[in-house]
Structure 1
Amino acid sequence: MDIKEKRFEQDIESYMLNYGGYTKGNLSTYNRETAIDLPKLIQYIKATQPKEWQKYERNYGADAEKRLYKRFQECVDTFGLTYVLKHGFEDRGAKIKIVSFKENTTLNDSVLADYNSNIVTCTRQFKYSTENENSIDMVLSVNGIPVVALELKDQLTGQSVANAKKQFMTDRNPKEFCFRFDNRFLVYFAVDLYEVAMTTKLDGEKTFFLPFNQGSNGAGNVGGKGNPENKNGYATSYLWEKVLTKDSLLNILQRFLQRVEEEKIVYSNGKEVKKKSVKLIFPRFHQLDVVSKLVADVKDNGSGHNYLIQHSAGSGKSNSIAWLAYQLTELHDKDNKPIFTSVIVVNDRTVLDRQTQNTIYGFDHTKGVVEKIDDDKHSADLKAAINNGKKIIITTIQKFPYIYNEIDDTTDRRFAIIVDEAHNSQTGKNAAKLKTALADTEDALREYAELEGLAEDEVKDQEDKLVDEMLSHGKHKNLSFFAFTATPKSKTLEIFGTPRENGKGFRPFHIYSMKQAIEEGFILDVLKNFMHYKTCYRIAKQTPDNPEVPANKAVKAVLRYKELHPHNIAQKTAIIIETYRSVTKNKINGRAKAMVVTASRLHAIRYYHEMKRYIESHGYDDVEILIAFSGVVKDGEFEYTEEGLNKRKDGTTIKESQLPSEFNKDEYAMLVVAEKYQTGFDEPLLHTMFVDKKLKDVKAVQTLSRLNRICPGKTDTFVLDFVNTADDIQKAFEPYYEATYLDEEINVNMIYDTRQLLRQKGIYDENDIQEFLKIFLKKDQNDSDLGTLTSLLKPVVARYEAMNEEERFEVKKTVKNFNKWYSYITQISRMFDRSLQEEYTYTQYLEKMLPPVSDTRNVDLEDKLKLEYYKIQEDFHGDISLAPTEATKTLENPKSLKTAGFMSEEDALLEEIISKINERFDGIFSEGDRVIVETLYNRAKENKKLNRQAQKNDEEVYTKSIFPEVFKQVAQDCYMEQMKAFSKLFEDKRFYDTVMATLAQETYRTSNRV
């Protein structure tokens, strides 16, 4: 058998010529200087545009061919070859096409004839240079223009895709005319028997190749890097059998390949500099695959279907959404009618996602096709865009509740809704209003009329608001949803997912897994370098009495006391700052940044101040911090806002909207956050995360994934977690590492059980509902009707308020549960149960009127507790490996819709509560440790001079200058009295420093307590 590289080359050529739509190329008329086969281009133009060519000949006579090339190259130099291939060029009244693309309809026979006149050639050993006889293994040309270059390697001859990449990087001079960016070749493939890589720009040693593989189990399936085994040929045959056939290549050139201009703000010598760049975007294989499969499915099955795309971070989701949006607008059915009136791209952030918006708008498009309903526009603009039939509309889902009943008749209008980051917002009231606004309810009307034994016109004539609401429930033939997310929840899977092959539950339509993204190098594995610190402490009661306090609230109060204790925050701050300086600072060429994730806004404030104090007291000038939180936070007598704390060195305020770009500057090292920037924040320089907050499930994945973005020089990440163990994080990540499934459909009849539970509470009855609806459903509302409605709800609220705390809790939760689940179930099922709809209409308003459950017995234990001793120690450091099973990656639907039980507040003795907490969190303190700390604390506390100094000086002077000297003397006195007992204090410097710092803060706090 011939195992030489030429055999590989020959096999590819054979397929391209026999099945791929190519003719065999030769170089007889190819000009190396101009890098074009001009006779072939002229041949194509004469065949497809004879009248335009006649204009050329009339204008230029014998120089027509030269002048055509001159004008062609002028336009390529100005706009790039990508643009010229798509749009052609004009010259003195002649409009010239360079290539003919297929249209989305079959109405125009001449267009198909032009398409078939394209001259696509496959040339082996393509000699391109004016300097030497170097050749490219294989080149694909369109109408004489070389656009695809392939270097082929064969493992059987000892070479691989790595050698092919190196050949492009070292042996192909990017200054050669044919290799200039967007001038001739538009994509370069490095290919061997098992893998493919590609790039759109040759840049010598800096050339950046992307993997162009299917994934180990094939495109769209669960797997890692590489390609699956191909029993019928080469593992990489998909490249020439699927991607580079004539039809596929021309489709990519027309609908996928994009020349994009970007403007970024970079910082040079402390100044902002706008840096412009141009790049070509050629789809990665999974992007090409998902868009092609979605478009094909819609083409075959029409509108009215839902699709869930589970694509990891690093998948290039914004590009996939943009390609899909444009191609759905062009899609026609078998009768050559557009399938969709409009494509609406929605996300659930209050502020429109700029990355997706800019990507869609940045793609080459006809002016007026895209309408951005961004921060400067309102719901009225969204209404106008929908009513006017704009082709692509980009908006947030929050705008729909304001205009859902103002959209023009949607009969015979179809909508594709692309959901960017499909999470809870797609299961709630905003999503329901979106469907109400856009749904064509003719089919639902027909179904309802049949069930009720009425004619459709009779139903319409009733003008019944409840019926109108019910008609919007369930799925609709005019609405197709395309939901993109990396972390689907169970509701997301049920609404958008595809039924599984075993008939149970749901799966994503297409998958590009976290595992594959990591293995292909598009994101970093944030679990590779995970450290957990265990906090060990003991809390003591420092009050002679032993009061009874509400147990649950007391436990929370004690834990909060520990979390906010100055010593706790001080110890963790020291670890955070020193870890940043020793681990993080020198990463990413000295530009690495860190994020501190805190449990609350007050925690963030305390951390921010302690970190600033620590940095200043140690004289560090290389750690500048920023903080992110919402609203106003009160800490003691002081009030804080984000903008009030974030100041530049010149004293100017960093506005909330400026924070991401400011944090990107080299002068800022760390960002302290409280419920902000844990999702959707894209800062590639973020290397390290310090977590002091309980994280669960999707929240853990989203938060830690802020670190996974890649950038030059970034090779790893680091997570230091004070709260969540390695097992906690592993459990959170496993459902989303490969693919996520749902075990079974939800039982929609459970909503009846929930209603029955609610009725059993006895705060309202059927008569209350009907009296309310008489007013609510009136056709002609007057000014007093709202007051009447609230008056009707007052007796119900009074019954609620007369209940005890546990009963109020159960009622409030059950009402909320009923509303939440009814809203969700009616998105997936059309129930047509009027009594349920009536109840839901009533309970929506009732929920708003019911006061929250509150316990007036607030527990303040601040003066009754003291932190007796405290240690923080490394508990785990290493790689959290993920190996999800079918069970761990399958989410479960609830088997009942019952509310969570009320936690009764039984009173317990404070001493008992403290003991239970200490049992959970106690560390490896010896009794000797306790003796040392307690003895030193009591001696220091009894020192009246020290007490006066604490009251006269600020904390920093006291803890750094005054207390250390006193502590040293006290410690020496104790040592002289009991050498054996106190020897550890002088043998372990870290123990000495920790005890001293703790007692300094504690004695200062005690002395200054009012």
Structure 2
Amino acid sequence: MSQRLDEASLEELIVAQMVEGGWTEGRASDFDPSYALDLGHLTAFIEATQPRVSKAMSLDEPTPTRHGFLARLQGEITKRGVVDILRGGVDHHGQHVDLYYPKPTVGNVKASTLFAANRFVITRQVHHSPSNRGDAVDLVAFVNGLPVFTFELKNNITKQTVDDAVQQYQRDRDPKELLFAFGRTLAHFAVDDQRVKFCTHLKGAASWFLPFDQGYNDGAGNPPNPNGVKTDYLWRRILAPKSLAEIIENYAHILTEKNPATGKKTKKAIFPRYHQLDAVRCLLADVAKNGPGRKYLIQHSAGSGKSNSIAWLVHQLAETRHDGRVAFDSIIVVTDRIILDDQLSQTIKSFLQVGSTVVHADRSGDLRRAITAGKKIIVTTVQKFPYILDDIGTEHQRRSFAIVIDEAHSSQGSKTSAAISRALAGGEDSAEEESVEDQINRIIESKKLLPNASYFAFTATPKNKTLEMFGKPVPNPDGKTGYRPFHSYTMKQAIQEGFIVDVLANFTPVGSYYKLMKTVEDDPEFDARRASKKLRAYVEGNEHAIAQKADIMVEHFLSQVIAKQKIGGQARAMIVTSSIARCIEYFHAVEGVLAARKSPYKAIVAFSGEHDDNGVQVTEASLNGFPSRAIAAQIRTDPYRILVVANKFQTGYDEPLLHTMYVDKTLSGVLAVQTLSRLNRAHPAKHETFVLDFANTADDIQSAFAPYYRTTVLAEATDANKLHDLVHDLDAFGIYTPEHIDEFVERYLRGETRDRLDPLLDECVAEYVELSDEDDQVKFKGDAKAFLRTYNFLSTVLPYGSADWEKHSIFLDHLVPKLPAPKEEDLAAGILENVDLESYRAEKLASMQIVLDDEAGLIAPVPAAGGAGLVDPDLEMLSDIVKSFNAHFGDIEWNDADRVQRFITEEIPRLVSEDEAYKNAQTNNDPVNARVESDRALGQVMLRLISDDTQLFKEFQDNESFKRWLAAAVFNATYRRSA
């Protein structure tokens, strides 16, 4: 007899292996669909653990008393959710009924006995419908008679996959039935022998299933399993009784969110993704094994749920034990995202029984008071952190701390890190009792990562400093040490799983074409490199250019995003600008275009501070008409659809309704990844994103994203010998002497006043100014900055310190700001007064998918090189610069430009406007048909012009971008004039 490999065989295998792991197989007949409960095991559990309650409720016979309790229990599950019922039980007629006993702590015999009384039951073919007894779900998992999971199973061998299971839930499982109603279970699993997906809230066809795979080769899916089915990790490990108990007690949750605008409350069920559960568990296990004093880098893709991962980690770190005691006295959560400061606090509180254990450290002294008062969890922003920690006091060096860093950046590695270390280490600050040598040694020691603190750094885009500071050291074949994350969930896996949207799949660069002309008779010389940069900024910031680009953006948004009902008609767009002045100009331009098109939609502007707007001081609040803190909420409500930003909302902003981004700002490296990744948040109705970029090429964006597609690895550690080289080079300039440095450091550490410090520095400044070669000035200042940058970083990670380096650091930290910049003549000054903008046009180029290499992102260590010399100017005649600039940006050189200009602006529009069919379309007020007729008439006119201007006809025939531009220009001119 051949072995069956059908769906039923998978069902049998799962149940058999779950029973091996501690589950009990249930009977489908024990399930009562009218209560959505396994009455047999519910009754048995209460009778065994709470016999008096069981008797009072008459659970062993179908009486009105029994029905009253079951109806009460069913109603409470509907109101509170099954997770809260399991955790807190239910009260009924003066009786409290426990429905689950949590995992015991080590050595608690009574709790162990109670936990063993829990009934973990897996039942096949459960008939869930009171009205249609033929319907059955493949598997249901119960805890003490309460359903916690349902399963629909499929089998690849019989040509059905996990996606068929998803469709079965969406098509055949009615959310109005109790078993499938919101909150009645923790999750619904769609499973085959290759993949796993889950959903926490069934909504028919709109049910949103998320992946629950382990990942394979930094991508989607699951690795081959030599010991069984690829997906058996789900039922053998994740759903093993003790593992499930952790999920019930520490992860699954129903979150209530309130809309600040409407006051309406909505509930959302939270269940961990596989990578979230795995990361948190790995971190907690390492803490339990090794205790405080370790560093962890967690590289999780943007949009992968880091806020929840941090919340789960933080609230469990508060209770994690090492060597018989709680590992950390306090957990400090540091976020670089001001928007998430509040969000993180609320998320963490939602997972805790007592929200008062979480506090904000908003002002100086808050952190000290929180620790003194026994607060376990403190949330603050990195901007406040150094100032707050200065005020902690000296009594905490015997305490242990967990520092959880959200969006870890290299700023964590220098002065901020030193402030953290000094504050948490404590120790005496009195300089009178210490020699200079003692003070130097104390400063060196304070910069190192603390032995009584563990650092948990979360980021999607780790820089080289971040990897070296928090990463896990790994030996390279060449004998050097590299660094990699402790845990990773890659951009590749998140995209392949559909958990985030690929923001590079639809990237369209916009070409800008300009024509500049000289406005002076003579032909002065200018520095070509600087001149080109100034000309580009001048043209792109020109009022006409802003207006044209704003028109392109709005036209695209209305016709391609709104008209095509992206994200179910809820799509939003972001315009990324290069400066606050440009941001305000774009805001006005976009608002103007929307008004001219009689669009019901409006824009919101976002920037910091107060700025001039044509002589009026404005803020984002005064332009928007509502407070700054309301921007994130308002953009989700109509009529607001377009968010215009300048250095705000480019990082840390989580808005699934963002679909399209218009970029008019040069982006590179991490900032490019973070900015475009604002679009990647998934939404059930979001299937793609779109980027229209006026400032960057596809190659630019590809280079920025490449290191972060898969796990990012640091090739090797920073070479500390570079510091020796820099010190040697700096000393050789003769700007200071060793005695200078020693004297300054002694006076500085004694706290002497400015009049005792400045003379020592001013002597060195005078020597710097006297350097005969400006290149030497540039080299010295560049090397000094490189030394400070590299030493501030290395002082936190090197196992040893150097008093000489620390003295140089103190001295140069005060000297560098006093060094004047070398006098450098601006050989492009005045060029803008000698040119004018003759024409400007912006055209969308071909849309493309940017494909990233499927390999680990290898990045180089922190560079320790100093500054370079001055760049020699490249002098060119003004006429040559203008000609080169125009040629570079693709302008067409016409044989007879004046005649062509007359044709385009006068003759062609006149002839098109005289076409009878076109005139009829305008009379009928039909702009869509009018455009069709205008393009047809234009084609006929161009054929008539073939003998008058062959070049113009040829460009029209062969140059698709010119043809589109001319068609639009003629239609805009003639339709608007005639209509």
Q: Deviations over 1:175-214 (max 9, x none)?
A: 333433324x332212122222212233333332222222
Task: Please state if 1:521 is matched with 2:498.
Answer: yes
Structure 1 contact 557–860 (Cα < 8 Å) conserved? no
Which runs of structure 2 are paired with 1:705-716 in the superposition (5 Å)?
705-716=677-688
Q: Which residue of 2 aligns with 1:600?
A: 579
Residue 123 of structure 2 aligns to a residue whose secondary structure is strand
Cα 1:932–1:357 change in 2 (3 A) is farther
**Which ranges of structure 1 fall in alignment gaps of 5 or more residues?**
266-271, 446-457, 648-652, 940-971, 1000-1010
Which region of structure 1 is more displaced relative to structure 2, 563-572 or 310-319? 563-572
Q: CA deviation at 1:614?
A: 4.7
1:314 aligns with 2:303: yes
Q: For residues 462 and 235 of structure 1, what CA distance do their matches in structure 2 show? A: 63
Report sequence identity in percent: 38
Cα deviation, residue 48, structure 1: 4.6
Give the drift of 1:763. Answer: 2.8
Query: 1:219-618 to 2 correspondence within 5 Å?
Result: 222-223=218-219, 225-264=220-259, 272-333=261-322, 335-349=323-337, 353-373=341-361, 377-407=362-392, 408-439=394-425, 464-500=438-474, 502=476, 504-549=481-526, 552-586=529-563, 587-588=565-566, 589-615=568-594, 618=596
Shift of 1:992: 6.6
In structure 2, do the counterparts of structure 1 residues 565 and 121 end up closer, same or farther at CA, with 3 Å as the change threshold? closer
Contact 2:472-2:484 at 8 Å conserved across structures: yes
Q: Quick one: distance in 1 between partners of 2:215 and 2:272? A: 15
Q: Is it true that 1:758 corresponds to 2:730 in the alignment?
A: yes
> Secondary structure in 1 aligned to 2:226?
coil
In structure 1, give the amino acid aligned to 2:400.
Answer: R
Q: Provide the residue aligned with 2:807 in structure 1.
A: 838
SS of the equivalent of 2:356 reads coil
8 Å Cα contact 2:349/2:355 also seen in 1: no
- Residues 854 and 259 from structure 1, CA distance in 2 versus in 1: closer, same or farther, beyond 3 angstroms? farther
From 753, 756, 775, the counterpart of 1:788:
756
Distance 2:146 2:311 in 1: 27
Q: CA deviation digits over 1:121-144, x for unaligned, max 9? A: 222223344332533322222222
Tell me which residue corresponds to 1:1005: none
Which residue identity lines up with residue 453 of structure 2 in the other structure? L
The more displaced of 713-722 and 793-802 is 793-802
CA distance in 2, matches of 1:385, 1:423: 26
Paired AA for residue 18 in structure 2: M
- Counterpart of 2:644, as a letter, is V
CA distance 1:540–1:166, change in 2 (3 Å) = closer
2-side partners of 1:154 and 1:998: how far apart?
58
Moved more, 172-181 or 420-429: 172-181
How big is each residue's C-alpha offset from its partner over 1:550-586, in whole Å with a ceiling of 9 and x where there is no partner?
Answer: 5554343233222223443344333223222322222
8 Å CA contact 1:35–1:178 kept in 2: the answer is yes
In 2: Cα distance, 1:148 partner to 1:925 partner? 66
Q: Which amino acid aligns with 2:837?
A: L
- Alignment partner of 2:325: what SS? coil
Aligned to 1:210: 210
Instruction: Give the Cα separation in 2 of the matches to 1:992 and 1:182.
Output: 59
Q: In structure 2, do the counterparts of structure 1 residues 621 and 300 end up closer, same or farther at CA, with 3 Å as the change threshold?
A: same
Tell me if the contact between 1:684 and 1:710 (Cα under 8 Å) persists in the aligned partners: yes
Aligned CA distance change for structure 1 residues 46 and 791 (closer, same or farther; 3 Å): farther
What do you get for the CA RMSD once the two structures are aligned? 3.7
* Contact 1:24-1:123 within 8 A present in 2 as well: yes
Cα offset, 1:923, TM superposition: 1.5
Amino acid at match of 1:199: C
Mapped partners of 2:93, 2:955: distance in 1: 93
User: Could you tell me which amino acid in structure 2 is paired with residue 332 of structure 1?
Assistant: R
> SS of the counterpart of 2:447?
coil
**1:236-293 per-position Cα deviation (integer Å, ceiling 9, x unaligned):** 111111111111111111111111111235xxxxxx5333111221111111111111
Q: Is the 8 A contact 2:778 2:868 kept in 1?
A: no
CA deviation digits over 1:979-1010, x for unaligned, max 9? 548966998887779999999xxxxxxxxxxx
Deviation at residue 505 of structure 1 after TM alignment: 1.2
Query: How far apart, in 2, do the equivalents of 1:918 and 1:742 lie?
Result: 42
Change (3 A) 1:911 1:493: same
The alpha carbon displacement at 1:851 in A equals 4.6
- 1:121-132 alignment runs, 5 A limit: 121-131=121-131, 132=133
> CA 1:53–1:801 in structure 2 vs 1: closer, same or farther (change >3 Å)?
farther
C-alpha distance in structure 2 between counterparts of 1:287 and 1:986, whole Å = 57
Amino acid at match of 1:578: E
Q: Is the 8 A contact 1:122 1:141 kept in 2?
A: yes
Give the structure 2 partner of residue 168 of structure 1: 169
- Residue 669 (structure 1) shift: 3.4
Aligned length: 915
Q: Which moved more, 1:619-628 or 1:276-285?
A: 619-628
Please, which moves more after superposition, 431-440 or 319-328? 431-440
**Deviation digits for residues 778-814 of structure 1 (CA, Å, limit 9, x no counterpart):** 2xx5xx7244323433333344455575544434333
Could you tell me how far apart the structure 1 residues matched to 2:588 and 2:29 are?
A: 75
The answer to whether the Cα contact below 8 Å between 1:4 and 1:157 also exists between their aligned partners in 2 is yes
Cα shift at 1:172: 3.4
Q: 1:773 to 1:322 in 2, by over 3 A?
A: same
Aligned to 1:624: 602
Could you tell me how far apart the structure 2 residues matched to 1:581 and 1:936 are? 32
* Secondary structure at 2:318 match in 1: helix
| Change in CA separation of 1:202 and 1:985 when aligned onto 2, cut-off 3 Å | closer
Deviates more, 1:577-586 or 1:637-646: 637-646
Instruction: Give the whole-Å Cα distance in 2 for the aligned partners of 1:998 and 1:864.
Output: 32
Measured after TM superposition, the shift of residue 387 of structure 1 is 3.8
Q: Is the 8 A contact 1:691 1:721 kept in 2?
A: yes
Corresponding residue number in structure 1 for 2:846: 876
CA displacement at 1:644 relative to structure 2: 7.2
- In structure 1, distance between residues paired with 2:46 and 2:434: 58
Unaligned runs of 5+ in 2: 907-940, 957-961, 974-979
Q: Distance in 1 between matches of 2:56 and 2:436?
A: 66
Tell me the equivalent position of 1:825.
794
Distance (Å, rounded) in 2 between the aligned partners of 1:424 and 1:250: 38
- Specify the alignment match of 1:962 in structure 2: none
Aligned 1:627-642 pairs, distance under 5 A: 627-634=605-612, 638-642=615-619
CA distance in 2, matches of 1:135, 1:501: 54
Q: TM-score normalised to the size of structure 1? A: 0.83
Please tell me whether the aligned partners of residues 28 and 125 of structure 2 are also in contact (alpha carbons under 8 angstroms): no
The CA deviation at 1:97 is 2.8
Aligned counterpart, 1:696: 668
Distance in 1 between residues matched to 2:782 and 2:968, nearest whole Å = 46
- 2:831 paired with 1:861: yes
Shift of residue 933 of structure 1? 7.0
Q: What CA distance in whole angstroms lies between the structure 2 residues aligned with 1:322 and 1:193?
A: 32
Question: Which amino acid is 2:229 matched to?
Answer: Y
What does 1:57-96 correspond to in 2, within 5 Å?
69=70, 72-73=73-74, 75-90=76-91, 96=97
Decide whether the 8 Å contact of 2:532 with 2:885 is kept in 1: yes
Q: Contact 2:778/2:867 (CA < 8 Å) preserved in 1? A: no
Q: TM-score, normalised by structure 2?
A: 0.85
Q: Which amino acid aligns with 1:35?
A: A
C-alpha distance 861-631 of structure 1, shift in aligned 2 (>3 A): farther
1:890 has 2:858 as partner: yes
- How far apart in 2 are the matches of 1:682 and 1:45? 44
In structure 1, C-alpha distance between the alignment counterparts of 2:787 and 2:971, rounded to whole Å: 53
Tell me, in whole angstroms, the C-alpha distance in 2 between the residues paired with 1:462 and 1:567: 63
